[in-house]
Amino acid sequence: MTDKYFEKLLEHRRNLHRIPETAFNEFQTGEYLKDCLYKAGCFNVQLMAKTGIIASYTGGSGDYIAFRTDIDALKIKEETGLEFSSVNDGFMHACGHDLHMSMLLTLAEWIGKTRPEKNILLIFQPAEEGFGGGELMVKEGLFSKFKVKEIYALHNTNEFPVGVIALNNGKMFAGTIEFEIILEGKGGHAAVPHQNSDLITAAAQLVTLLNTIEPRFLDPVHENLLSIGMIHAGEAANILPSQAVIKGTARSYYKDDLSVIKNKLKDMCSSVSIAFGLKSKLIIHSEYIPALNNPDIADRISSTDFGKNIKVTECEKKMTGEDFGFMLEAVPGAIAWLGAGNDTNMNFGLHNKAYNPDEKAMAAGFAYYKKLIESFKK
């Protein structure tokens, strides 16, 4: 890679890091992306999925090779101390999507200068962080508008050092269900529980029940989990509350198991409501399917020489979620981890207020994408 392209990677990353925006609010980010894509001078740019952007380049006949980046940020107050820290107080690119966007923008500039004889699609996807922007793009007909043969994505992590591309030939990210349960009843004095509703005991009972789903209703050899991340009920020691809220996540690599989990959530909410004489409401905030790499494509990547500074290695599956799974279900492809770890950032990982991935990771990601284009057979 020339210093010129690395300088562009840094410029884009730092400009984008300053302006983090959350799901479907990526307006300033979108303006920056569109401006850069128009300047490349070779893309047809169009909007999709509210704040998403599709940039298509036609360099010949045949199918497209596609690359996807997420563009949203998180509601986290940044504490990195960087000179280019977020100017949007309370919001941060704590998942490194600024790196992902920068690699695709720099790839766009390289395409504009070299004009490869390939058809290339750059997908700037909104709302990856829990709002299913990838699914929305698929539903809006992304792959009926463009005949894509292969699709690729990277996700940075400090768990691998710079220069490492890590993937496997199947299970990369689990399917997820993010849920919230609201229990409601009559609140009142704790001295007369028989005259009021005991929401806290009901919530405790429900949490116990929910934690039986994975070990007792699902195949024990399958990768499944259910975790409760928040319980809120009550404000004082002598008052029985009128509401209790439970929030949690369920994860699996099996669609059928996710369906079982969802049905059991409904059943258990209903049973606790009946037992304690309460009202219950189950809210499913998001549902992602598993992200599964195409085995042939993953094996091809593992045997490709991406340059002396890049090492492709095999990684274990994780129970984290990634809505790129909706695109991988529609088109063969692969997502890989992009090593961004160094001696200074190993204690502050993804979604941490101090997360600062090594910027040199972008050079490896850019070279990886460029090689995929050069070796793509239409």
Which amino acids are annotated catalytic?
Answer: 70, 129
Rounded to 10 deg, the angle between the 97-114 and 361-374 helix axes is: 40
Q: How far is CA 340 from CA 97, 257, 363, in A?
A: 12, 33, 11
β-bridge mates for residue 67, sequence order = 122, 152
Burial class (CB in 10 A: 0-12, 13-18, 19+), 2: exposed
- In the DSSP assignment, the letter for residue 63 is P
β-bridge mates for residue 48, sequence order = 52
Q: Which two tokens stand for residue 242?
A: 């009128």
264 close to 181: Cβ distance less than 8 angstroms: no
238 close to 190: Cβ distance less than 8 angstroms: yes
β-bridge mates for residue 251, sequence order = 176, 225
**Residue 277: which region, alpha, beta or left (left: phi > 0; alpha: psi -120 to 50)?**
left
Q: Which two tokens stand for residue 348?
A: 């502050």
Q: Which two tokens stand for residue 288?
A: 């992602």
Q: Which two tokens stand for residue 176?
A: 């997820």
CB 267: neighbour CB atoms within 10 A? 13
| Distance between CA atoms of residues 310 and 212, nearest Å | 44
Shortest CA distance to 340 belongs to which of 60, 46, 94? 94
CB 100: neighbour CB atoms within 10 A? 28
Shortest CA distance to 18 belongs to which of 78, 108, 107? 78
- In the DSSP assignment, the letter for residue 236 is S
β-bridge mates for residue 252, sequence order = 175, 224
14 close to 6: Cβ distance less than 8 angstroms: no
